[in-house]
Structure formats: C-alpha cells, structure tokens
C-alpha cells in the first residue's frame, strides 16, 4: 500500500508543476503522452504489487487451521520443511476459544495426544459437558496420519482446537500455559505399541520418558499447578502371572521397552508428586478398542485382513495355552478418564515449590473379562460375514504377554467406574464404524 501513496501524490502535483513537462508540444499531445505514461506506470505498479503479494502469500507460515485441513500429512518430510505451525494472534485466539469453559463448574483441560484414539474420544466427551478443552498432538506417522487428521477434523467440528506440536517442545508447552490457566492436564500422548519398540526404541524414550518429563516440568512451574491424569498401561504387570492384576501387584518385570517406559513413567510421577506437590493419577488401560481405533491393534488389522482375504496370524502360548486379553470398550475408558479428572484433588505446590502433600493415585481401567483371541476372531467373522483365514503361530517372545485381566475393585470404589460394554456389543460398533469409514466414497465420508 505504501507504494501507492507517493505515486498518487506525484500525480496530484502534476498540474501545479508544469515545469517538469516540456510545454513545447500542444496541450493535446501532452495529454496523450501523459495518459500513455500513466498507463505504463499503472501497469508496472500493478506488476510490482502482484509480485509482492505472491511473495508474501508463499512465504507466510501456513495458518494452522488451513494447514491441518489441507496439507497432505502422509508425507512427513514435507511437514519438517514447514515453518512452525503455531504462534500469532489468530492462533492464540483459537487456543483461548477452544479452552473457554462453557458450563458452571466446568474444568479447563489440556489433552495431549488429542488426535489419537483415546484422546479424540476424551476431548469430545469433555467438550460435550461444557469443559474447556485444548488438544495437542504431533501427528506422527507411527500409523496412518490421515486417520489422525480425520479425528482432528471431527474435533474441530465440536469446537476443539488441536495444536500441532511435540510434548518434548517445552517452549510450546510453556506458551500454552501462558495463554490458558489449565486446571487439568489429560496426558495421553505417547509412543504406543509393544512390538514396534524393537524397530524404533528411541521413539519410546522421546515421547514416554523425555516427553513426560517435559509435560511435568511445565506443570510443576505453572501457577496454579494443574492436576494431572495420564495413561500408563496394563503392560506394566509384565511377566506377573497372578491374576486378576491388582494395583498392588509387582510391576518390576516389564516384557517390552514400551512397558518399561510406562513403568518408568509411574516412578517419575511419584517423584514429581513428592518434590513439587503435583496431583497425579495414572491409569493402567487394558486393551482399549472401538470406533476411530488404532490400526496397529489386532482387532483392527484382523478386520482389515479378513475383509481382504489375507491370512491372519493367531498366537498360541506354549503347551497350546490360550492368549487372551481383557478388551475394554472406549466409552468405558472415557468414563474412567472423566471420573479421574473429576475426583482429582488440586495440586498443592505453586511456581515450582511444594506446599504440602498431594494426591498420587494409580487405577486399573479394564473390563474384568479376558477373551481368547480365537473368540475375538469368531465374533469378527460373524459381524463381517466373512470366514477368516487363520494361521496358528507360536507366540514370539518380543514383548507380548499371554494374558491380561484387570481387578477393577479400586476404580469401582474410588471413581464409580463400571464397564458396561461387552466385546460382542463393542465390536459391532467398531465394525459399523470401520465399514463406513473405509467405504468406497473414501476416508472423508465417516463422521
Ligand atoms: N489403546 C490401548 O489399548 C492402550 C492400552 C494401554 C495404554 N494406552 C495408552 O493410552 C494413551 C493413548 O493411547 P491411544 O490408543 O489413543 O494411542 P494413539 O497412538 O492413538 O494416541 C497417541 C497420540 O499421541 C500422539 N503423540 C505421540 N507422541 C507424541 C509427542 N511426542 N508429542 C505430541 N504428540 C504425540 C500421537 O500422534 C497419537 O495421536 C497412550 O499413552 C497409550 O500408551 C493405550
Ligand atoms: C527433547 O527436547 C530437548 C530440547 O528441548 C532435546 O535436547 C532433547 O534431545 C529431546 N529429547 C528427545 C529424547 O528427543
Ligand atoms: C482385587 O483388589 C482388591 C484391592 O483393590 C482386593 O481386596 C481383592 O482381593 C482383589 N480381588 C481379587 C479377586 O484378587
């Protein structure tokens, strides 16, 4: 715009400064030349402005909103080339609006891993009650990021903004706490999966150890300190063979690096509670499944492979022992998460100083009825009306345990937790979602 001003004032001044123009030609010719040069000038100005506009348009950091909707996130190399996707007044406005509490006695929650399976359901449920919710996720490509983007789009429609960023980025976390005084943090971001730990061990250290510490560091320094609820895992029971698993049972024999990082997380939680007075609740989830679930989990890829006619591997424990899981439906897990947030006491410290003892809890969130994997496949065959091509294999010793079974007495009494969905009912809902999400019209058709 500033280019226009000198130009117009120059034009204005023409009649009063005739000396600038040779007057030896007739006024008519002069006028012609004047119009001609005016047109030429306008043309170059137009070109110049266009170039400037094009330059700014291409150089401007992408609006987090439009980037999240349109960028082809399936290409991680492209993401790393982009300028940071957070910051700016518009971004801050969206953060504030998403975190605004809309009901009496509502809470204000930062949900990490919000574009994940559990994170999406928990964020949506909190928003529905009128709580303030801000999501955060790094949209990594451990599994198909288009599914994470679709979950993000679902959350956007309910009014939840998911900030794109890494929990190990303490500058970003601090910025979020500067903008919003969160009363609670629901920490679900993690590197999940048991067998992948042998392929990419450092991703577990990055997210589940360094990332957790970075979250707790920011929480401990915040004023007021938020109460924290975070996802541990039933895998901490490891080689423990006493069933059902109770919170008091030993958890010092992890069978995978994933389990070891979750166990480490529980110890780190103890430290931050002890030193800084942070109120912390750890939830040991037992094999969560349901709509919008994780493609790396058996129920999910069995469904995909049964429909494709591909063979599915079924693991068998030594001596033909059954492999079984205490499958827990997502809605039950969400209820357990919300009850944990609602019963969490306030942290007692402030600005990094402890003022008194604070709450420290661990709960099993399971379903209390282990189902053999063969039974899972039978249910899927009936729901999909396709016979599975099963291949029995010896269970490799690469992280999986043979059996999980939760004792949920503690969660029942402290949280009022009471799982209400059996595997048959829950899988029916999953299959309905799966078929609609992956139906011919493409991935966007599901909602
Ligand atoms: N689903 C289960 O059966 C199960 C069982 C036990 C424990 N858990 C735990 O529950 C939590 C949620 O699991 P889920 O099934 O929703 O997994 P998920 O992978 O779908 O969700 C985790 C989300 O966190 C994000 N994330 C990972 N590392 C991050 C980082 N460094 N910074 C920012 N975001 C990051 C991922 O992009 C993903 O969207 C995890 O902590 C997981 O370990 C899940
Ligand atoms: C986490 O981030 C810090 C910088 O904030 C970096 O030094 C460290 O290497 C990161 N840790 C991991 C495990 O990625
Ligand atoms: C379940 O755990 C509770 C303690 O939380 C314990 O009292 C009870 O005996 C356990 N039940 C079984 C069947 O192990």
- Residue partners of 237: CB distance under 8 A and separation at least 6: 245, 249, 251, 284, 401, 404
Give pLDDT, residue 447. 36
Estimate the crossing angle of helix 117-129 against helix 145-158, to 10 degrees.
Answer: 0
Give pLDDT, residue 347. 98
Alpha helices in 183-279 (DSSP H): 201-204, 211-221, 257-276
Q: Please state which of the ranges 3-17, 76-90, 259-273 shows the lowest mean pLDDT.
A: 3-17
In the reported structure, the alpha carbon of residue 401 is separated from the centroid of ligand 3 by a whole-number distance in angstroms of: 21
Query: Once rounded to an integer, what is the mean pLDDT over residues 379-398?
Result: 94
Comma-separated ranges of CATH 3.40.50.720 domains in the chain: 65-288+328-368+402-420
- Which pair of tokens denotes residue 332? 């039950």
Q: Please state which of the ranges 42-46, 56-60, 164-168 shows the lowest mean pLDDT.
A: 56-60
410 Cβ below 6 A of ligand 3: yes
Tell me which fold the domain 65-288+328-368+402-420 belongs to: Rossmann fold (3.40.50)
Provide the b/e sequence for 334-350 (b: ≥16 CB within 10 Å). bbbbbbbbeebeebbbb
Q: What SS3 state is found at 240?
A: coil
What is the rounded radius of gyration, in angstroms, for the C-alpha atoms of the chain? 29
CA distance 258 to 263: 9
pLDDT tens digits, 131-188: 999 999 999 999 999 999 999 999 999 999 999 999 999 999 999 999 999 999 999 9
Which residues are bridge partners to 132 per DSSP? 108
- Which pair of tokens denotes residue 388? 């599975």
Given a cut of 50, is residue 35 above it in pLDDT? yes
- Point out the ligand nearest to the CA of residue 210: 2
Between 18 and 404, whose confidence is greater? 404
- Residue partners of 294: CB distance under 8 A and separation at least 6: 116, 117, 143, 192, 300
Nearest to 120 by CA among 174, 69, 172, 160: 160
- Point out the ligand nearest to the CA of residue 168: 2
Catalytic residue among 143, 204, 258, 272: 258
Given a cut of 90, is residue 200 above it in pLDDT? yes
What is the sign, positive or negative, of the torsion defined by CA atoms of 136, 138, 140, 144?
positive
How many other C-beta atoms can be found within 10 angstroms of the C-beta atom of residue 65?
A: 14
In the reported structure, the alpha carbon of residue 263 is separated from the centroid of ligand 3 by a whole-number distance in angstroms of: 21
Estimate the crossing angle of helix 373-384 against helix 423-437, to 10 degrees.
Answer: 50
Given a cut of 90, is residue 70 above it in pLDDT? no
Q: What SS3 state is found at 372?
A: strand
366 Cβ below 6 A of ligand 3: no
Give pLDDT, residue 48. 59
412 Cβ below 6 A of ligand 3: no
Nearest to 288 by CA among 146, 157, 120: 120
CA distance 291 to 151: 11
Given a cut of 70, is residue 6 above it in pLDDT? no
Give pLDDT, residue 90. 96
pLDDT tens digits, 328-371: 999 999 999 999 999 999 999 987 889 999 999 999 999 999 99
438 is catalytic: no
Give pLDDT, residue 319. 82
Eight-class DSSP state of 446: -
Give pLDDT, residue 431. 98
Give pLDDT, residue 327. 98
Given a cut of 50, is residue 4 above it in pLDDT? no
Give pLDDT, residue 350. 84
Q: Please state which of the ranges 46-60, 233-247, 386-400, 418-432 shows the lowest mean pLDDT.
A: 46-60
How does DSSP assign 143-171, residue by residue?
Answer: S-HHHHHHHHHHHHHHT-EEEE--TT-HH
Q: What SS3 state is found at 317?
A: strand
Query: Once rounded to an integer, what is the mean pLDDT over residues 242-248?
Result: 96
Q: Using DSSP bridges, classify how beta strands 371-372 and 324-325 pair: parallel, antiparallel or unpaired.
A: antiparallel
Q: How confident is the model at residue 77 (pLDDT cuts 50, 70, 90)?
A: very low
- Which pair of tokens denotes residue 412? 């029942």
Q: How confident is the model at residue 71 (pLDDT cuts 50, 70, 90)?
A: very low
Give pLDDT, residue 292. 98
Q: Using DSSP bridges, classify how beta strands 227-231 and 328-329 pair: parallel, antiparallel or unpaired.
A: unpaired
Q: What SS3 state is found at 2?
A: coil
Given a cut of 80, is residue 211 above it in pLDDT? yes
Protein residue with least CA distance to atom 28, ligand 1 = 190
Percent of residues, the chain, with pLDDT higher than 70 = 79
Q: Where does residue 385 rank: exposed (0-12), middle (13-18), buried (19+ CB within 10 A)?
A: exposed
pLDDT tens digits, 83-121: 567 999 999 999 999 999 999 999 999 999 999 999 999
What is the sign, positive or negative, of the torsion defined by CA atoms of 419, 329, 196, 211?
negative
Indicate the top mutation candidate among 121, 155, 185, 190 to test ligand 1's pocket, ranked by most ligand atoms within 8 A of CB. Answer: 190
Protein residue with least CA distance to atom 2, ligand 2 = 168
- Point out the ligand nearest to the CA of residue 368: 3
What is the sign, positive or negative, of the torsion defined by CA atoms of 315, 318, 321, 327?
negative
Q: Where does residue 90 rank: exposed (0-12), middle (13-18), buried (19+ CB within 10 A)?
A: exposed
* The length of the chain, given as a count of residues: 447
Give pLDDT, residue 41. 60
- Which pair of tokens denotes residue 125? 């449920």
- Which pair of tokens denotes residue 199? 């392929």
Chain mean pLDDT for the chain: 86
Query: Once rounded to an integer, what is the mean pLDDT over residues 33-40?
Result: 59
Give pLDDT, residue 399. 83
Protein residue with least CA distance to atom 3, ligand 2 = 168
Query: Once rounded to an integer, what is the mean pLDDT over residues 369-387?
Result: 97
Give pLDDT, residue 37. 63
- Which pair of tokens denotes residue 170? 């303490």
């Amino acid at each position: 715009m500033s280019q226009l001003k000198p130009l117009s004032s120059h034009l204005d001044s023409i009649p009063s400064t005739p000396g600038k123009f040779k007057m030896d030609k007739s006024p008519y010719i002069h006028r012609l030349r004047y119009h001609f040069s005016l047109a030429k000038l306008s043309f170059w100005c137009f070109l110049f402005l266009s170039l400037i506009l094009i330059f700014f348009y291409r150089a401007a950091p992408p609006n987090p909103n439009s980037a999240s909707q349109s960028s082809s996130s399936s290409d991680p190399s492209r993401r790393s080339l982009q300028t940071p996707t957070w910051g700016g007044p518009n971004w801050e406005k969206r953060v504030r609006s998403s975190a605004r509490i809309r009901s009496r006695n509502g809470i204000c929650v930062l949900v990490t891993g919000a574009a994940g399976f559990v994170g999406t359901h928990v964020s949506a449920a909190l928003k529905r009650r009128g709580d303030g919710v801000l999501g955060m996720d790094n949209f990594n490509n451990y599994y198909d990021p288009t599914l994470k983007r679709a979950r993000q789009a679902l959350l956007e429609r309910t009014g939840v903004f998911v900030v794109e960023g890494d929990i190990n980025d303490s500058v970003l976390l601090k910025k979020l706490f500067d903008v919003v005084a969160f009363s609670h943090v629901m920490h679900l971001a993690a590197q999940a999966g048991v067998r992948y730990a042998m392929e990419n061990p450092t991703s577990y250290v990055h997210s589940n150890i360094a990332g957790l510490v970075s979250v707790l560091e920011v929480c401990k320094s915040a004023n007021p300190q938020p109460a924290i609820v975070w996802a541990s895992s039933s895998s901490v029971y490891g080689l423990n063979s006493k069933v059902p698993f109770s919170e008091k049972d030993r958890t010092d024999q992890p069978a995978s690096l994933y389990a070891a990082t979750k166990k480490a997380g529980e110890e780190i939680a103890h430290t931050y509670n002890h030193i800084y007075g942070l109120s912390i609740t750890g939830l040991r989830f037992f094999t969560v499944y349901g709509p919008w679930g994780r493609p790396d989990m058996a129920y999910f890829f069995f469904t995909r492979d049964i429909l494709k006619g591909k063979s599915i591997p079924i693991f068998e424990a030594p001596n033909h022992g059954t492999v079984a899981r205490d499958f827990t439906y997502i809605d039950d897990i969400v209820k357990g998460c919300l009850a944990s947030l609602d019963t969490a006491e306030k942290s007692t410290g402030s600005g990094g100083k402890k003022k008194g003892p604070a709450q420290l809890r661990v709960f099993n969130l399971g379903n209390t009825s282990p189902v053999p994997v063969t039974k899972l496949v039978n249910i899927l065959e009936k729901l999909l009306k396709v016979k599975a091509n099963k291949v029995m294999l010896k269970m490799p010793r690469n992280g999986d345990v043979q059996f999980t079974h939760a004792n949920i007495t503690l969660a029942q009494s402290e949280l009022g937790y009471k799982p209400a969905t059996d595997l048959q009912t829950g899988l029916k809902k999953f299959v309905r979602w799966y078929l609609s999400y992956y139906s011919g019209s493409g991935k966007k058709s599901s909602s």
